[in-house]
Structure 1
Amino acid sequence: MAVDSQCQSNDMAGIIRDNDRTLFPIKNISSVLDIFKNQLENSPEPDLALLSIIVGAVENSLTCNRGSANLELYQPMDSSSLPTLELHIADALYTKFHSLIKSSVDMTKYKNKSYASREIVKRVSDVIWNSLTRSYYKDRAHLQSLYSYLTGNKLDCFGVAFAVVAGCQVLGFSDVHLALSEDHAWVVFGENGTETSEVTWHGKGNEDKRGQSIGLGVSSRSWLYVNNCPVICTRSMEVAALVSAINPSLNATNDAYEVALLQQELLWLLYDLGHLTKYPMALGNLGDLEEIASTPGRPPCATLFKEAIKSAKTYYSNHHVYPYTYQGGYFYRNKMYKEAFESWANAADVIRQYNYSRDDEEIYKEFLEIANDLIPYVIKVVSSGHSARSILKDPECFAYLLRFYDGICQWEEGSATPVLHIGWAKSLVNTISKFDSDIRAQVIIICEDVEPNTTASSEDIKSNDIETNNGRYVNNNNNYCTAKDDGDEFIKVLESKVTAKTSQKINLHPSIEALTAACGEKILNPEYLLQGGGEPFVGTSVEKDTDSTSSSPSHAGTSKEIVDIKSDVIEKTNKKCENNIVIEKEEEVDKKPTVRLYSQKMKGLKDLLLAEKLNTQAISLQLTAQSQVQVGKKGRGDLDTVNVRPKRTRRE
């Protein structure tokens, strides 16, 4: 390995700590774990440069040095073994990085500075940026580590941002930290960490943004900047970021097993130390790895996907999409199609908070694949059978589908560039046409004018509705009221009618009138009402009641009427009341799912979607109508023609 002569500049050199040097040479996964654990637990700050060099050396030696002709014959090494990394190699690369940064920044100008300035951050980013090789495709795999930078002057977008933070750490500025959205990276700095700076590019032609604040991106409501809800890293979370960025792929279909296992073990180390709690993407990556090869005694992948969603809700106001697409992909691969539909609808609930821009091509491709590949495949699979449990017979699945498209349509509203084109429309029409009209008719569609509170998932919204309405959902358009079948609600109805009796005459069933009158004089027996045992009133027998009623004309026949009161109550709960409200059992309510539509396009489709016979042409025209999109500027056509990067793919 050729190492630049500047590595020998002792006055500029960085020195690896003695307790880390003793762990070399690195020959297996355990030795890598030992260095990471030592750095995370026994250092004032984890050394980002050293750790990035180590994992980059392992990744590149196992992925980039294997010829394509040998991939079909590839056999993993012993699971505990790795290519040897000698101390002198790591030491030379480590020294090279320190020398490069320190020789390029005149620290005498900043010797009294406790915190980094925009000028310092820009200077370090210029050093990294200007030393990169220009003749390579920046979004190729395995370019995210300092090893790639120091041996080949190549870095991807994440790698540049990470190198800038590591460079500022070399200069002694501990306030400069990595900020991560789901497809971009920048830095935060300053005394309170409130200053932001672009240090890399996104796509093409954005080099001039380096050094600028991210304010314009946030104000445009671009998903790229997650509405100013990025993962702001601590030093330990920056270690988690470099581990999460490890790429085990050999090609589109094969992974280097040893690299994947190393990444998995390192993520579990960080998980145990609590450094993934606020990092949804890393939790999702760990969930993917566990799905492929589960670790005995560890939480299952489904639990990790739920943890990622919980993290996004708790710390980032539910502004991250990928936790839901990770979960949806897991359900899809395991043929849990209804659950996948719900996860994708939840993902669309997040994206509706943004305005689409051309910087968002990664998430566009994610949703396009769901809409045009995954959902049609699911429909094709379930259409071939006649199972009563098919999702095509489930109105909830149709409601999830509507919510998914409603989120996409609202994402488009207010954007300068359209999202939906005829390809989207064809997939929607083909999909909904597979749901019979009687299934579609069971979905209650409510058109809302106010934007939804998307900081909660559909499960949270359901529970909030229950708490707000005391267990009752009322749809005034359909004159339906659903209540818990526990007797309490019926008693409340009785109380309201008794109260109203003072102002107007209400004709109640004789048994109810008798019971109501008797309640004023005697105490009802709870055991009788709940289980049917004992007498209607405490301390009373039927015979005594019969005797007493003979001298009281107003109570004549009370005992006889009361005997049948329980069966009468049950009968009444399923019959029409005087105010045209029907009280239904809770399990019957579940057959009528409710979906609220917020986008103009989907609200305009309401009647068409519920029609017995679908007007496919009208649906397509409505879905692709540009008049519904508040276009600020002319676009250059659909995004499909201008994609510059391959879609982020899951490890298989």
Structure 2
Amino acid sequence: MSTVTRSASASPCMALNGIIDATLFPLKSTKDVVNLFRRALTSAIEPDLTMLSIVVGYIELSLTTGEAAAQAAQAALASNGDVIMGNSVPFPVVTHELIAGLYKKFQTILSVVDKPKPHRQATREIIKKVSDVIWNSLIRSSYKDRAHLQNLYSYLSGNKLDCFGVALATTAGCQLLGYKDVRLAISEDHAWVVFGQKHVESIEVTWHGKGSEDKRGQDIGAGIESGSWLYLGGLAVVCERGMEVAAICVALNISLSANSDCVEVAELQQQLLWLLYELGHLKRYPMALGLLGELEEINRTHRSISCEQLFREAIESARSFYHNHHVYPHIFQGNYYNRLVKYREAFAAWANAADVIRLYTYQCRDDEEIYKELLDIANELIPYIMKTESSGHSARSILRDAEVFANLLRFYDGICQWEEDSLTPILHIGWAKPLVNNITKFDYDIRSQVVIKLPEDIEAEQAAALEAKKESSQEGNNNNNNVNNNTLSKKDEKTKSELPTTLADLTAACGEKILNPDFLLQGGGQPFAEQKQQALGAADSNNHKKEAITSTSTTTTSNGSGSNAASQSEASSEQEQREAKLEQSKQQQAVDDYDPFEIMLKRPVITLYSQKMKGLKDLLLAEKLNTHAISLQVTAQSVASRKVRGVADSRQAANVTATITAIASGESSTAAAAGGGGAAAGGGGATGSGDSIAATRPKRRRE
């Protein structure tokens, strides 16, 4: 990446009084634009959001819209619609006159708002007035999901902005007026403004959703309290100036059409994000790190940092600074692994995404974008993977991996918990059919390896362990003088108690321990291999102790003189006995820790938290899947415990669960088989459209 050197006495990059340094222009290439941003970010004066947004907005629209750009998009579509294409439009020349003229126009629009007195901070009324001015000058139309409307060039040249663009314009307008405490706040699908000395006060300055309902002036507290993903539980990205410049770069839209992108705009965006990365402005911005990872996946430009590392950094940023409340970093990573055909890693990443979404309560209108992402994973990507992996069904298939099945359950458990307490259900029959079909792909011997726990089970185990610890501590205090003897006697009692006394006990224990071959063939010895090993270990230890004692006695007798020799032999004998006890203890510990089944199977353990998935526990682990009961449980509307003023209707949920249990236990095997066929057929229908899914370029969404 090119650099620019300048003397300390050089003129600043820009001034926030309308005077833009003419020596920086014209900009004729990507290199020139990157140099402009570098000087803005490293200058003693804070970067001017208005000027930078106008510059990149002009370049973006020049390369992606207009007649020449449309012809380039048609050519890209005719050649290969899934590949990012360069276009025939030359890089636009950005002149000082163009930028200064639009900059002056923005100042004129904002002239009706009073400038602050020295050291005066912004108020809710001032910010509302700035947003009113911008809002009232827009063309009256909804621009939801329209491209190239997130920059100030679009606003100043055509009076068009989407909701993010309005938030950015409001922040830039407050900066231009001189209110330095106003900052942009960004969630994963929305933007607003924070202000005040500690940036704890917030205000809506735009709208969200398909319509253009006015939210301006409202506090975002109500959205946070509702548990909506749109506000990330109050853990959105609150930007400093460098991060606001990063937001301008992230907002660059590289699309030429629905199926082709402009390589020149993508290159500009990639180089600007690397500049911001190197200056440390992306450290607290997970979405920007994920976007840079996608750009690097398409076109590797950095030698030492891979796209996979960037995806991991995005997740680490979300965990470190936002308590893992951001969903998209995990989706970025899961989709990346899916494109690399690393399906095990993809399932784990998608399950991690579901673990984040379970923290929120589903809001139908506000959560539309993340709903579409999760629906795409559940009903398109996963069924396609299942269909691909089921052909041939090799030993290396993910369908022979219990951990993959556990992550599949964790993914659906997160979505079911997201649905709980929501006024709008999520899991209708369109979700249930692919879910049932995916589960049926795993054989019983794989499903049975997963250890499914419930929160109440874990609480009971913890309580029992705590009680046992207390009892052990009390016994230790009461019998402090006989600790060694008690330990030995307890081990003997444990060994005796583990010996099966009846055929039923022996049969039950066979599922957990390995039988001793000598016991089976000759009828003698210990019934289980580990008991035999334990007995042999004890015998060897006793032999070692006897040999040590005999050797010591012989030495003492042969010397026959002097108390020094006797004391030395006694010390030697005691040392050898200690070593023998230590060896015996190590052998016993090895026997106790050895669990061949745990080593062979590596059984994954998961905890189900949602009411729907907890009700499926027994059905999921049954040898023959009752697909009808599973589908009924998933789509039961009342199982999603709706709350009225915080009180759940638990009786209704219990009635539905009891009905499903009765169906599961009462149906014949014939009916179950018929239900399984129907559900499988339905799932196959869901995967039919998945044939078109291929590992092509990453898919990026813009607000």
Query: TM-score of the superposition, structure 1-length normalised?
Result: 0.78
Contact 2:541 2:584 in 1 (8 A): no
1:601 aligned to 2:612? yes
For the 8 Å contact 1:179–1:233, the answer to whether it is kept is yes
Measured after TM superposition, the shift of residue 543 of structure 1 is: 8.1
Alignment-derived partner of residue 95 in structure 1: 104
- Count of aligned pairs: 555
Contact 1:146 1:163 in 2 (8 A): yes
| Range with bigger deviation, 272-281 or 201-210 | 201-210
What is aligned with 1:414? 421
- Distance verdict in 2 for CA 1:497–1:189, change over 3 Å: same
1:629 correspondence with 2:656: no
2:607 counterpart SS class: strand
Alpha-carbon distance in structure 2 between the residues aligned to 1:549 and 1:394? 63
In 2: Cα distance, 1:497 partner to 1:215 partner:
62
- CA 364–505 in structure 1, closer or farther in 2 if over 3 Å, else same: closer
Give the alignment partner of residue 82 of structure 1, picking from 80, 91, 98.
91
Q: How does 1:480-559 map to 2 (within 5 A)?
A: 499-501=486-488, 506=493, 544=551, 547=554
Letter in 2 for 1:403: R
Offset at residue 423 of structure 1 (A): 0.9
- Structure 1 pair 496/247, CA: closer, same or farther in 2 (3 Å)? farther
Counterpart in the other structure of 1:399: 406
Question: Judging changes above 3 Å, is the alpha-carbon distance between structure 1 residues 298 and 72 closer, same or farther for their aligned structure 2 residues?
Answer: farther
Deviation at 1:343, TM superposition (A): 0.2
Q: Which residue of 1 aligns with 2:65?
A: 64
Deviation at 1:83, TM superposition (A): 1.3
1:528-561 Cα shifts (integer Å, max 9, x gaps): xxxxxxx999xx9798368479999xxx9xx9xx
Q: Which residue of 1 aligns with 2:226?
A: 220
The residue that corresponds to 1:379 in the other structure is: 386
Inter-CA distance 507–120: structure 2 relative to 1 (3 Å threshold): closer
Could you tell me which residue of structure 1 aligns to residue 243 of structure 2?
Answer: 237
Q: Which residue of 1 aligns with 2:343?
A: 337
- Equivalent residue, structure 1, for 2:27: 26
SS in 1 for 2:93: strand
| Whole-angstrom CA distance in 1 between matches of 2:360 and 2:540 | 58
* 2:212 is the alignment partner of 1:209: no
Question: Does the CA contact (< 8 Å) of 2:113 and 2:129 recur in 1?
Answer: yes
> Which stretch shifts more, 274-283 or 62-71?
62-71
More helix by share: 2
What's 1:253 paired with? 259
**CA displacement, residues 52-92 of structure 1 (integer Å, 9 cap, x when unaligned):** 0000011000001245444243562699x721111111110
Pairing 1:588–2:612 present:
no
Query: For residues 39 and 242 of structure 2, what CA distance do their matches in structure 1 show?
Result: 12
Name the CA distance, whole Å, in 1 between partners of 2:265 and 2:105.
25
Which residue of 104, 111, 114 maps to 1:106? 114
Task: Note closer, same or farther for the CA distance 1:111–1:476 as it changes in structure 2 (3 Å cut).
Answer: closer
* 1:250-292 deviation digits (Å, cap 9, x = unpaired): 0111110000000000000000000000000000000000000
Q: What is the DSSP-based 3-state SS (H/G/I as helix, E as strand, rest coil) of the residue aligned with 2:100?
A: helix
Choose from 610, 614, 630 the match for 2:625: 614
Structure 1 residue aligned with 2:310:
304
Instruction: Rate the CA distance shift 1:549–1:408 in 2: closer, same or farther, 3 A.
Output: farther
Per-residue deviation, 1:510: 6.7
**1:138: how far off?**
3.5
Residue matched to 1:484: none
- Going from structure 1 to structure 2, the CA distance change for 1:506 and 1:651 (only over 3 Å counts) comes to closer
Structure 1 residue aligned with 2:437: 430
Mapped contact 2:450–2:604 kept (Cα < 8 A): yes
1:17 aligns with 2:20: yes
C-alpha distance in structure 1 between counterparts of 2:494 and 2:318, whole Å: 55
Corresponding position of 1:650: 700
CA distance in 2, matches of 1:51, 1:94: 10
Kindly provide the CA deviation profile for residues 323-347 of structure 1, in whole angstroms up to 9, marking residues without a partner as x. 0000001000010000000000000
Q: Measured at CA, do residues 44 and 613 of structure 1 come closer, stay the same or move farther in structure 2, by a change above 3 Å?
A: same
State the 1:414 CA deviation: 1.2
Code of the aligned partner of 1:616: T
8 Å contact kept, 1:417–1:631: no
User: Which whole-Å deviations, capped at 9, do the CAs of 1:125-176 have from their partners, x for residues lacking one?
Assistant: 0011110011453430000000000000000111100000000001101100
Q: Is the alpha carbon distance of 1:536 and 1:120 closer, same or farther for their aligned partners in structure 2, counting shifts above 3 Å? A: farther
What amino acid maps onto 1:422 in structure 2? Answer: I
Distance 1:564 1:78, change over 3 A: farther
1:209 deviates by 1.8
Shift of 1:502: 6.3
The change in CA–CA distance for 1:586 and 1:182 in structure 2 (over 3 A counts) is farther
- Measure how far apart 1:94 and its partner are: 1.0
| 1:183 corresponds to 2:189 | yes
Q: Where do 1:448-463 residues align within 5 Å?
A: 448-449=455-456
**Aligned AA (1:46):** P
Q: Tell me the residue number matched to 2:330.
A: 324
Deviation at 1:572, TM superposition (A): 8.6
Residue 266 of structure 1 is matched in structure 2 by 272
Letter paired with 1:501: L
Aligned in 2, Cα 1:446/1:142: closer, same or farther, shift over 3 Å?
A: same
Residues in 2 aligned to 1:590 and 1:613: alpha-carbon distance in whole angstroms: 21
Asked if 1:353 corresponds to 2:359, the answer is: yes
Distance 2:274 2:311 in 1: 14
- SS of the residue corresponding to residue 452 of structure 2 reads strand
Contact 1:14 1:99 in 2 (8 A): no
Instruction: Tell me how large the CA RMSD over aligned residues is.
Output: 3.7
Give secondary structure in 2 for the equivalent of 1:196. strand
Alpha-carbon distance, 1:244 to partner: 0.8
How far is the alpha carbon of 1:46 from its aligned partner? 0.5
Indicate the residue corresponding to 1:55 in structure 2: 56
Q: Summarize deviations over 1:365-395 as a string: whole Å, max 9, x none.
A: 1110000000001001101023211100000
For residues 379 and 544 of structure 1, what CA distance do their matches in structure 2 show? 68
Listed one character per residue, the Cα deviations across residues 504-547 of structure 1 (whole Å, up to 9, x for unaligned) are: 964876766678789xxxxxxxxxxxxxxxx999xx97983684
Confirm or deny: 8 A CA contact 1:200 1:210 kept in the other structure.
yes
Alignment partner, residue 441 of structure 1: 448
State the 1:17 CA deviation: 3.3
Partner of 2:397: 390
- 8 Å contact from structure 2 (residues 537, 588) kept in 1: no
How far off is 1:364 after superposition?
0.6
1:305 is aligned with what amino acid? Answer: F
TM-aligned CA deviation for residue 217 of structure 1: 0.3
Cα 1:377/1:547, change in 2 over 3 Å: farther
> In structure 1, which of residues 73, 76, 100 is the aligned counterpart of residue 75 of structure 2?
73
Find the structure with the greater CA-based Rg: 2
Q: CA deviation at 1:566?
A: 7.9
Secondary structure at the aligned position of 1:25 is classed as coil
CA contact (8 A) 2:338 2:346 kept: yes
Structure 1 residues 135 and 503, CA gap change in structure 2 (3 angstroms): closer
Gaps of 5+ in 1: 1-12, 453-472, 478-494, 519-534, 576-581, 634-647
Supply the distance in 2 between the matched residues of 1:192 and 1:568 (Cα, whole angstroms): 60
1:415 Cα offset (Å): 1.2
Tell me, what secondary structure is at the counterpart of 1:85? coil
- Structure 2: how far apart are the matches of 1:78 and 1:549? 102
